[in-house]
Amino acid sequence: MKNGIALCGGGSLGSYEYGAIKALLEQGITFDVVTGTSIGSLNGTLLAANRMDRMKEVWENVTVHDVIKDGLDLSKPLSKSFSLNPNSPFQKFVKSYLKDDFGADVSPLKELIERNLEGIEVSKLSCLLGIVACTYPGLVEEHYLVNDLPQEKVKDYLLASCSCFPAFPICDIDGKSYVDGGWKNNLPIDYCLELGADRVYAVLLESFPPAQKREYFRLPNVTLIAPSKRQGNFLNFEKAHLERNAKMGYLDALIALKKRLGEDYCFHPNKSLSELSRRHLRESLSLFGAEFTAKSIEKMAKSSSRLSPYSEEGYFLLNLERAAHIFGLSEYKDYGVEEMAQEILRISSIDDGKEGKRKAERAYWHALFWGEAKESPSSPERKLDKVLFNTIFVH
């Protein structure tokens, strides 16, 4: 059985791939085939070369200036960067973009690629490494097995795969022009299978253009790792943005592997989860009856995609997540159910809901904690609060 991994294109969103790859490796999964497009080709090269140290270094330290000369901070609206001052970052970027060969000056990206290729002999890689680029004009998809490329040409083909025209300039190699492979195949699952993979772990990014050939997502031998939350701008290299996406990729991978549970949050299953889930269902039935419980489950089912409320655990976790949203708990953390439950109780004991968002909901939880809430709440939401409170407080 040969494992493969297909990595999507998506600029700075590649930090999500780093997090997902880290989780896969920690679970003991290794790869015989690696394919990637654009940033996926760069991450894929470091993975194939067993240089996770370099991938970590890139995603913990990269800035827009390591990719584009005089690049703009796209973590902020473009209107905030606009300036008529000829020495401003905005005007420097415009001048760079409108030079003769059109597109941003990506000389820093070239240097980044060359620096990370140092010491890597592609003919000696322990797995097959395939990347995707497109010819220009015409946008014909082309595949390149990096293992067979001349060593001195590897950096050029990696840059070609990343040449997101028209934002980035066209890449010329030996008289032939190339642009980003993402225009035709931004997540090369098919290429991974062609290279002999029996099972493919495919890491999707919320990029442009969106990944094509989505029929491959549904294959029984493809495990899709997809973002559970919005990933943001693909040219936003703000450190906090990269860290959030890396954490999301790590947690989403664990859920895709069924090592964790959750919809918007991530929980590691344990004995407490089973006990609390059974108690939660009993509380729901005893407090408000079978009809309320059935309607609550049906409503949850309409808004959930990764976690089914038709199981005891799913019903409990979705209700727990609902309360976590009320109190604004971080979605970028690996929780134990008792840990989250205790945090909700801790906050509800001191937060009277008089200020900030979701005042009425937080005020009700405060009243529940101090025994001041009405015995028979009227709305379905407050009834679910009561069920959850009884479950975790008594526990």
> Each residue of 139-156: pLDDT tens digit?
999 999 999 999 999 999
Same domain, 252 and 308: no
Q: Does the pLDDT value for residue 323 go beyond 70? A: yes
Same domain, 243 and 307: no
pLDDT band at 374 (very low <50, low <70, confident <90, very high): confident
pLDDT score recorded for residue 83: 43
Pick the range with the lowest mean pLDDT from 6-15, 28-37, 63-72, 270-279. Answer: 63-72
Q: Which residues contact 85 (CB under 8 A, 6 or more apart)?
A: 91
- At which residue do the structure tokens 């999507």 appear? 8
Residues 198-226 have a mean pLDDT of 97
Same domain, 63 and 127: yes
Query: Is 117 a domain residue?
Result: yes
Same domain, 126 and 233: yes
pLDDT band at 255 (very low <50, low <70, confident <90, very high): very high
Nearest to 256 by CA among 231, 224, 216, 304: 224
As to burial, measured by CB atoms within 10 angstroms (0-12 exposed, 13-18 middle, 19+ buried), residue 378 is exposed
* Boundary residue ending a domain (221, 256, 291): 256
Domain span at residue 323 reads 266-394
pLDDT in tens, 157-182: 999 999 988 888 899 999 999 999 99
Query: Is 165 a domain residue?
Result: yes
Letter for the amino acid at 61?
N
Q: Which residues contact 117 (CB under 8 A, 6 or more apart)?
A: 45, 154, 155, 158
Query: Is 261 a domain residue?
Result: no
Cis (ω within 30 of 0) for the bond into 209? Answer: yes
Tokens of 186: 């931004």
* Boundary residue ending a domain (231, 256, 281): 256
- SS3 for 145? strand
Query: Is 148 a domain residue?
Result: yes
pLDDT score recorded for residue 166: 82
CA-based end-to-end distance of the chain: 45
Query: Is 369 a domain residue?
Result: yes
Q: Does the pLDDT value for residue 31 go beyond 60? A: yes
Residues 197-214 have a mean pLDDT of 96
Q: Does the pLDDT value for residue 275 go beyond 60? A: yes
- SS3 for 4? strand
DSSP code of 64?
G
Same domain, 229 and 324: no
Beta bridge partners of 173: 176
DSSP string, 183-219: GT-SS-HHHHHHTT-SEEEEE--S-SSPP--GGGGG-
Total tally of structural domains belonging to the chain:
2
Task: State what percent of residues in the chain have pLDDT above 70.
Answer: 91
Give the domain CATH number at 44: 3.40.1090.10
Contact between residue 192 and residue 4 where contact means Cβ atoms under 8 Å apart: yes
Q: Does the pLDDT value for residue 3 go beyond 80? A: yes
pLDDT score recorded for residue 91: 42
* Boundary residue ending a domain (228, 256, 284): 256
Same domain, 286 and 251: no
Same domain, 192 and 78: yes
Same domain, 190 and 303: no
Same domain, 377 and 282: yes
Active site residues: 38, 180
pLDDT band at 354 (very low <50, low <70, confident <90, very high): confident
Q: How far is CA 351 from CA 42, 327, 345, 360, 365, in A?
A: 47, 9, 10, 11, 9
Nearest to 285 by CA among 383, 367, 382: 383
pLDDT score recorded for residue 393: 87
Query: Helical H runs in the chain?
Result: 14-26, 39-48, 52-61, 78-81, 89-97, 107-117, 154-161, 189-194, 239-256, 271-303, 312-326, 337-350, 359-369, 380-394
**Whole-number Å distance between alpha carbons of 330 and 6:** 29
pLDDT in tens, 71-104: 555 555 544 444 445 554 544 444 454 454 556 7
